[in-house]
Chains A and B, each alone.
Chain A
Amino acid sequence: MLSPSHLPLSATLRHDRSGLLMRASHVLVVVFVVAALVFAALGAALGDTFFLRLATEALILGGFALSVDILLGYTGLLSLGHALYFGFGAYVSALMLKQTPSFWLAMGVVLVAAAAFGFLTGLIANRVRGVYFALVTFGLAQVFAKVVYNTRALGASDGMIGIPIVPIELGVVTVMSNAPVAFFLFTLGFVTMLYAVSAYLLDTSFGRVLGALRANENRVPFLGYSTHRARLAIYVFASVVAALSGALYPMLRGFVSPELMFFAASGNAVITVVIGGVGTLVGALYGSVILTVLKSVIGTMTEHHLIVVGLIFMAVVIFLPKGLMGFVRPRVARLLDGGGR
């Protein structure tokens, strides 16, 4: 028999399609960041505030959509209530900042609280699979949103206003949350960091188990992995990513409201991911920009932008089911594969 050294490890790794596609996503993220930097430079040169803040919101929602794609695209779990965690992060952040306007303290508390909250609710949601999972997450979010909506201490239906301007200390520089260019750049860095951590996790052995869950859940236990634990772990992780994105929201807008947890917000994230490309990670960022542009462009013409968004969304589901990045990414991957040879 041939010796194992006959086939070097790098040679087998070349056939790791998931890894190759992930590298293609990295390339597309670099493109995204460069475009965002150009945009920021333009905004700074023109002294713009409005579009920079709109773009910052798009980035925050992109970070949120990232977490939805981790579940839907990489684990095969469609959550219809993931805005619960985005809103949770926003509320915890708002509450903390009203006490002490310390960015890192607020983020730390959001991280820990979201992990605990994601774990507890994840225990419920992960009792079930498939459409039941979609409906249970939908119900979970609905219930918590209603509770928040009716809790006076959380501002009830009005939400909470008057979140102070926060200084974000980054060692050498301090970014003020009301400085359009600086906060945009900070958010860009933060969301890119969320992407990087998620991409790293999905490329680990654990991440591959998630992909296996999506591809054929029944076989996974026979490879020695508890499907329940893997699902719960990624659910907690996705909750934290959503909550950290949400935590930036009150810093940008100065308020939080129960709408952040409503179904429309969860649905928006799903639309973002589907248009951007399910299971591409980077698609969440592109999708968020596309959706934000769409809404504001149509919004200048009519307030009924949902008709257009809904129609585009349906068209994507039918004609481009892999979304924009699902179309672009394999082509980038082919270039990478050819170049690496």
Chain B
Amino acid sequence: MTSTLDFIQFVLAPQMITGLSLGVAVVLVALGLTIIFGLLDVINMAHGEFYAIGAYAALALGAVGINFWLLLLIVPLLMIPLGYLTERGLIQRVFNKPDRHVTTLLLTFGLALVLEDVLKVAFGPNTQRPSTPIPGAIEMFGIMMPNYRLFLILFGIAIIAAVIVIVNRTALGAMVRAAAFDRNMAASLGVPVTKVYAGTFAFGVALAGLAGVLLAPVFSVFPTMGRDFIFMAFTVVIVGGMGSIIGTVVAGLLLAQVQVLSSLVVSPVWSDPIVFSIMVLVLVFRPQGLFGRLGHA
């Protein structure tokens, strides 16, 4: 009996909290991905690189003495013009070609290659780790919990909630949803569709940048950091239902738990295959994912 409780307290609970912070992290990265797909029908292969750019921007600006809390605001703001220009300058050029999915995927893939190498040129290939903005740890449920992880979970949840509110409850979000549902109808209702597209893309990119700032102290910063996360993020987006925000949140939190808890039982090497198998099973039985798509209820 005690051993069971011990297992829960000293093994399961800490592991689940680790899973929660991983889940929040994954959702933060995946949110931008799913919003961009939901509205523009674009698979942004460069999303992981935007996430990396956010992390590097935080590193560089932090090095010149800018406070971490200020970075949480500055970096996403800096990402907005980058995302906006990417959409207007690149995506829009091929947006109306017959095979939008493939073409935009290829284009953003090319962009990812370029960005990754640019980061290598600018910052070198080595791994860097910013110092934790909130040092120390507190004891929770009998285990030690780093303060920053706790902050990450709470702040991450707040951001996720804010995104949901923005998309579902504001006039801006309504325009986005209208454009996602029927582009022509939205345009005829006076929605500036091209601007909404570019703005939404920028919003997604800003979210990736914000995730970069937040996760840098936990997962370190290196030029290919985007790649490591993007597989999990794509899986989350597919399982949740491409373009569904709620789906992304639910799938992200669940799959992170699966990954973390499965490593208690089997070698961590197998956690990716397990997560992938879940994705395949979901696709087999519910090809549209767990939840519907943005703008399509």
Question: Touch between A and B in complex, CB under 8 Å?
Answer: yes
Interface residues of A (CB under 8 A from B): 72, 78, 124, 127-128, 130-132, 134-136, 138-140, 142-143, 146-147, 150, 263, 267, 270-271, 274, 304, 306-307, 309-311, 313-314, 317-318, 321
Q: Check B231–A139 contact: CB distance below 8 A.
A: yes
In the complex, the chain B residue whose C-beta lies closest to that of A151 is: B269
Q: Check B111–A310 contact: CB distance below 8 A.
A: yes
Partner of A309, one of B90, B113, B121, B231: B113
Q: Check A314–B110 contact: CB distance below 8 A.
A: yes
Given A127-B284, A139-B234, A140-B276: A317 and B117 within 8 A (CB)? no
Given A78-B102, A142-B231, A318-B93: A147 and B273 within 8 A (CB)? yes
What is the distance, in angstroms, from A302's C-beta to the closest C-beta of chain B? 9
Contact string, B148-167, partner A, CB cutoff 8 A, digits 1/0?
00000000000000000000
Given A304-B120, A317-B106: A131 and B287 within 8 A (CB)? no
**Residues of B within 8 A of A (CB-CB), count:** 38
What is the distance, in angstroms, from B234's C-beta to the closest C-beta of chain A? 5
In the complex, the chain A residue whose C-beta lies closest to that of B108 is: A314
In the complex, the chain A residue whose C-beta lies closest to that of B109 is: A267
A-chain residues with CB within 8 Å of residue B231 when the two chains form the complex: 138-139, 142
A-chain residues with CB within 8 Å of residue B94 when the two chains form the complex: 317-318, 321
What is the distance, in angstroms, from B82's C-beta to the closest C-beta of chain A? 16
Q: Check B273–A146 contact: CB distance below 8 A.
A: yes
In the complex, the chain B residue whose C-beta lies closest to that of A130 is: B101
B-chain residues with CB within 8 Å of residue A135 when the two chains form the complex: 43, 234, 238
Q: Check B272–A311 contact: CB distance below 8 A.
A: no
Q: Check A306–B117 contact: CB distance below 8 A.
A: yes
What is the distance, in angstroms, from B243's C-beta to the closest C-beta of chain A? 11
B-chain residues with CB within 8 Å of residue A274 when the two chains form the complex: 106
B-chain residues with CB within 8 Å of residue A127 when the two chains form the complex: 280, 283-284, 287
Q: Check A314–B283 contact: CB distance below 8 A.
A: no
In the complex, the chain A residue whose C-beta lies closest to that of B112 is: A310
Q: Check B121–A317 contact: CB distance below 8 A.
A: no
Q: Check B280–A124 contact: CB distance below 8 A.
A: yes
What is the distance, in angstroms, from A238's C-beta to the closest C-beta of chain B? 16
* Cβ-based interface call for B114 (8 A): yes
A-chain residues with CB within 8 Å of residue B234 when the two chains form the complex: 135, 138-139
What is the distance, in angstroms, from B171's C-beta to the closest C-beta of chain A? 30
Contact string, B264-297, partner A, CB cutoff 8 A, digits 1/0?
0001010011001001100110010000000000
Complex Cα spacing A321 to B117, Å:
24
In the complex, the chain A residue whose C-beta lies closest to that of B279 is: A139
B-chain residues with CB within 8 Å of residue A313 when the two chains form the complex: 106, 109-110, 113
Complex Cα spacing A147 to B276, Å:
13
B-chain residues with CB within 8 Å of residue A140 when the two chains form the complex: 276
In the complex, the chain A residue whose C-beta lies closest to that of B89 is: A318
A-chain residues with CB within 8 Å of residue B279 when the two chains form the complex: 136, 139
Q: Check B238–A132 contact: CB distance below 8 A.
A: yes
In the complex, the chain A residue whose C-beta lies closest to that of B271 is: A146
Please list 28 pairs of residues, one from A and one from B, whose beta carbons are closer than 8 Å in the complex, sorted by A's number.
A72-B102, A78-B105, A124-B280, A130-B101, A132-B287, A134-B43, A134-B102, A135-B43, A136-B283, A139-B235, A139-B279, A143-B273, A146-B272, A263-B227, A270-B109, A306-B113, A306-B117, A307-B113, A310-B111, A310-B112, A311-B110, A313-B113, A314-B107, A314-B110, A317-B106, A317-B107, A317-B110, A318-B90
What is the distance, in angstroms, from B115's C-beta to the closest C-beta of chain A? 8
Interface residues of B (CB under 8 A from A): 43, 90, 93-94, 97, 101-103, 105-107, 109-114, 116-118, 120-121, 227, 231, 234-235, 238, 242, 267, 269, 272-273, 276, 279-280, 283-284, 287
B-chain residues with CB within 8 Å of residue A72 when the two chains form the complex: 102
Given A124-B280, A306-B113, A310-B114: A131 and B273 within 8 A (CB)? no
Given A146-B273, A150-B269: A307 and B118 within 8 A (CB)? yes
Partner of A307, one of B114, B235, B267: B114
**Best-buried of A127, A130, A131, A134 by chain B (most CB within 10 Å):** A131
What is the distance, in angstroms, from A46's C-beta to the closest C-beta of chain B? 34
Complex Cα spacing A321 to B105, Å:
13
Complex Cα spacing A78 to B109, Å:
13
Q: Check B101–A306 contact: CB distance below 8 A.
A: no
Given A139-B235, A318-B90: A306 and B109 within 8 A (CB)? no
A-chain residues with CB within 8 Å of residue B117 when the two chains form the complex: 304, 306-307, 310
In the complex, the chain B residue whose C-beta lies closest to that of A135 is: B234
Complex Cα spacing A138 to B279, Å:
12
What is the distance, in angstroms, from A112's C-beta to the closest C-beta of chain B? 24
Complex Cα spacing A130 to B105, Å:
11
Complex Cα spacing A134 to B103, Å:
12
Complex Cα spacing A35 to B231, Å:
41
Q: Check A128–B101 contact: CB distance below 8 A.
A: no
In the complex, the chain A residue whose C-beta lies closest to that of B227 is: A263
